[in-house]
A and B are shown apart, each in its own frame.
Chain A
């Protein structure tokens, strides 16, 4: 445990080596939030409610998405692909630590830094914009929303890791990741709550793993536990197990076939 704690601190220290990079990176996140905030404020200018959401509920939704997307999409798993292509993964595998625990520690450090920045930014933005937030329906909704977020984090981790494992067979791995980021950001509810869409389209999207990354946790926080919650829980658990098994299978197969010279 001590060595992982040391690794965790080392990963966090790495962030503060390139300070200007951090400032620019966070500025980009704030700009994305501002765009969505002003867009929805303009949409709600002459109305109280739209698609079942009041203005305060919508502002709360985009704020939650701001937090959740920072934790879901902030990831160091893309570096695995570079390590495989460059052969650096050999050095990691030879070290007396579990490679999987190493990856999880790196992810935890990454998400800790990202969330710390996100909460400070929310505080500043709340003071500047003074938005009206909608409180959660009840404590159970908050707890289950967090549980659902943890499941979402697991799903996104295993998908992202699997995409990096493609580097065992091809050096051209940026295109599938690009595709994943585009599809995930739209179908996870990054721009709008998915239940605003026509019913048939919504039902189709809910069967994919993406709504469980951000949309469902955010919706549960705002509107409470939906009647069909068990249905959502089963689908999300299915995707969690499925993505885990796919990642595991790719890792085992990749390890059997992998070879590298010159390290």
Chain B
């Protein structure tokens, strides 16, 4: 309960900080809407000509794209504070966070939720709901499975961000790690079936973009082998466990950098 109260307090602070520059929020939102809108329209326009991409119909391809946007935006909404971690490290401020009587993740992982991304997240979820309603062969069970697999993807996203924080402690390098993560995730914008076999394997088992984005949509479309549900769950749990172990390991090597 105490942690929830603290989380709420940090979120309120973050919101107030964001609202200090209303003009920037407007520009940021318009820019993000524009980028999404242009690319979305382009994919839709292209698919009306090509009719099929790696065996998927236009609406299905758009669902892959929307699922990618949901996962990507969720990461930015929840874990925006990770990108500010380097500043805490090099200034020595991280020392004071470690000394506080709460888990440091409360501050450095989820302590700076980005309200701008929440607005965009609602838009993407709304569009995904619309496109799912347009599919004829989807049952309620498949929708539930899609949501469960999305939750699974969020666990993977959280694990990756914990690993980035741990790497930040060891290398004081955070921004590039986040951008690399985001660029690799972009490879999941479309079904990973369109890549070569080796790249498909890497994007499934080494960098689990396929499990984060392609698997949930395939589950929804009922074209997924049931074993993938267990593989996805196992991957998420293994990543969560290993990233927490990596965090503990990196903390042992932490030494104050500034202050």
Complex CA–CA separation, A38 to B195 (angstroms): 6
Contact among A31, A43, A176 for B46, CB-based, below 8 A? A43
A20 to chain B, nearest CB (A): 7
Given A39-B194, A191-B42, A192-B42, A28:B34 Cβ within 8 A: no
Q: Does B34 contact A172, Cβ atoms closer than 8 Å?
A: no
Choose the segment among B74-82, B84-92, B135-143, B177-185 that binds chain A (4+ C-beta atoms closer than 8 Å). Answer: B177-185
Q: Does A179 contact B30, Cβ atoms closer than 8 Å?
A: yes
B residues in contact with A46, CB < 8 Å: 52
A86 to chain B, nearest CB (A): 16
Q: Does B28 contact A175, Cβ atoms closer than 8 Å?
A: yes
A residues in contact with B24, CB < 8 Å: 172, 174-175
Contact string, A39-53, partner B, CB cutoff 8 A, digits 1/0?
101110111001100
Q: Does A197 contact B27, Cβ atoms closer than 8 Å?
A: no
Q: Does A182 contact B35, Cβ atoms closer than 8 Å?
A: yes
A residues in contact with B27, CB < 8 Å: 175-176, 178-179
Q: How many residue-residue contacts, CB under 8 A, span A and B?
A: 87
Q: Does B180 contact A28, Cβ atoms closer than 8 Å?
A: yes
Given A39-B190, A191-B42, A192-B42, A20:B28 Cβ within 8 A: no
Given A175-B28, A186-B39, A191-B42, A21:B194 Cβ within 8 A: no
**Is B253 interfacial (CB-CB < 8 Å)?**
no
Q: Does A25 contact B176, Cβ atoms closer than 8 Å?
A: yes
**Is A32 interfacial (CB-CB < 8 Å)?**
yes
**Is B102 interfacial (CB-CB < 8 Å)?**
no
- If over half of A's interface residues share one DSSP class (helix, strand or loop), that class is named, otherwise mixed; here it is helix
A residues in contact with B171, CB < 8 Å: 20
A50 to chain B, nearest CB (A): 7
**Is A24 interfacial (CB-CB < 8 Å)?**
yes
Complex CA–CA separation, A200 to B54 (angstroms): 30
Q: Does B183 contact A31, Cβ atoms closer than 8 Å?
A: yes
**Is A35 interfacial (CB-CB < 8 Å)?**
yes
**Is B230 interfacial (CB-CB < 8 Å)?**
no
A residues in contact with B180, CB < 8 Å: 24, 27-28, 31
Q: Does B23 contact A175, Cβ atoms closer than 8 Å?
A: yes
Contact string, A9-26, partner B, CB cutoff 8 A, digits 1/0?
000000000001100110
Q: Does B34 contact A42, Cβ atoms closer than 8 Å?
A: no
Given A25-B176, A186-B39, A50:B186 Cβ within 8 A: no
**Is B53 interfacial (CB-CB < 8 Å)?**
yes
- If over half of B's interface residues share one DSSP class (helix, strand or loop), that class is named, otherwise mixed; here it is helix
Q: Which of A43, A50, A186 has the most CB of B within 10 A?
A: A43
Contact string, A166-201, partner B, CB cutoff 8 A, digits 1/0?
000000101110110011011000011000111000
Given A31-B184, A191-B39, A24:B54 Cβ within 8 A: no
Q: Does B187 contact A34, Cβ atoms closer than 8 Å?
A: yes
A residues in contact with B194, CB < 8 Å: 38-39, 41-42
A195 to chain B, nearest CB (A): 13
B169 to chain A, nearest CB (A): 15
B255 to chain A, nearest CB (A): 19
Q: Does B190 contact A42, Cβ atoms closer than 8 Å?
A: yes
Which A residues contact B (CB, under 8 angstroms)?
A: 20-21, 24-25, 27-28, 31-32, 34-35, 38-39, 41-43, 45-47, 50-51, 172, 174-176, 178-179, 182-183, 185-186, 191-192, 196-198
Q: List 8 A-B contacts (CB under 8 A).
A: A21-B176, A24-B176, A24-B180, A28-B176, A34-B187, A42-B190, A47-B50, A51-B49
Beyond A27-B180, A27-B183, A28-B183, 9 additional pairs, beta carbon < 8 A: A20-B171, A28-B179, A31-B187, A43-B53, A46-B52, A47-B50, A179-B27, A179-B31, A191-B42
Across the A-B interface, give the 8 residue pairs with the lowest CB-CB distance, nearest first: A42-B194, A24-B176, A175-B27, A175-B24, A31-B183, A179-B31, A182-B31, A186-B38
